């Protein structure tokens, strides 16, 4: 009787183990849920031009004379016309060395005979600089903005000139919704993806100003600049120390 009872207990234990085993195997083979990683310094906004195949409009400046030998002047603009959602955007530019004389900034559109704006800009420090445009851009109008290092006011052919083009455009409803949900760190990614170059650069630059020791932000801006061939300005971002 005891032998029969023991055999029944052993059989029951084996049956229970066979039932539990598939559940254990399934639990072990189920992969963990995917987790979206946070943004890192190695990630960078990817710029998608609003019009593929658009003609190049950016001009890069390198000194030709002896007075400012080795000078590199660049506007932080895409190769073709870039977009901004801001009526009065902040424009960014790079200069490789300090100048004693100011730069000349001008803004033009296709219909202006004289510059819409013509002002002097301090260039006493090398690096990347900001210029808040004190002029309301009209929607869907293309503007050219230029910076010139004037070596000789009587011989303007020797100027070191850099220029780019910009157009103000209202963002689409989907982009507006994305921006409302995006964190401050994510906004440059959204802008760049939709062709709003100037807003991507501005939001990144504003974060750099607020957190100058954050190397990840500078790396992201450098990677964005490289995508449009602005290699000298990108190299500066990677080398500079706050």
Q: Are 175 and 190 in contact (CB under 8 A)?
A: yes
| Residues forming a β-bridge with 59 | 163
Helix or strand (DSSP H, E) at 108: strand 103-109
C-alpha 41/C-alpha 26 separation (Å) is: 37
Among left, alpha and beta (phi > 0; psi -120 to 50; other), residue 197 is alpha
pLDDT tens for the chain, residues 1 to 242:
444 444 434 443 434 344 444 433 343 444 443 333 444 545 889 999 998 677 889 998 665 554 566 899 999 999 999 999 999 999 999 999 999 889 999 999 988 889 999 999 999 999 999 999 999 999 999 999 999 998 878 777 778 999 999 999 999 999 999 999 999 999 999 999 999 999 999 999 999 999 999 999 999 999 999 999 999 999 999 998 76
Q: Are 50 and 198 in contact (CB under 8 A)?
A: no
pLDDT score, position 42: 54
Q: pLDDT for 138-187, tens place per residue?
A: 999 999 999 999 887 877 777 899 999 999 999 999 999 999 999 999 99
pTM: 0.80
Domain limits, the chain: 1-32, 61-239
pLDDT score, position 37: 43
- CATH architecture assignment, domain 61-239: Sandwich (2.60)
């Amino acid at each position: 009787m005891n032998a029969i009872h023991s055999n029944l207990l052993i059989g029951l234990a084996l049956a229970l183990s066979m039932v539990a085993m598939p559940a254990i195997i399934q639990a072990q083979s189920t992969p963990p849920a995917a987790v979206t990683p946070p943004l890192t310094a190695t990630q960078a906004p990817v710029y998608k031009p609003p019009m593929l195949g658009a003609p190049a409009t950016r001009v890069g400046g390198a000194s030709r004379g002896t007075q400012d030998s080795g000078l590199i002047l660049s506007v932080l603009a895409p190769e073709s016309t870039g977009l901004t959602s801001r009526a009065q955007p902040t424009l960014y530019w790079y200069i490789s060395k300090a100048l004693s004389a100011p730069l000349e900034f001008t803004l033009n559109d296709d219909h202006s005979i004289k510059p819409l704006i013509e002002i002097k800009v301090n260039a006493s420090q090398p690096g990347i600089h900001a210029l808040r445009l004190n002029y309301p851009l009209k929607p869907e109008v293309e503007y050219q903005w230029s910076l010139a290092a004037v070596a000789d006011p009587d011989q303007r052919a020797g100027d070191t000139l850099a220029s780019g083009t910009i157009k103000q455009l209202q963002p689409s409803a989907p982009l507006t919704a994305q921006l409302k949900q995006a964190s401050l760190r994510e906004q440059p990614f959204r802008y760049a993806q939709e062709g709003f170059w100037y807003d991507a650069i501005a939001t990144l630059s504003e974060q750099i100003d607020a957190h100058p020791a954050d190397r990840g932000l500078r790396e992201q801006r450098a990677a964005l600049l490289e995508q449009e061939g602005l290699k000298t300005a990108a190299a500066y971002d990677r080398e500079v120390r706050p």
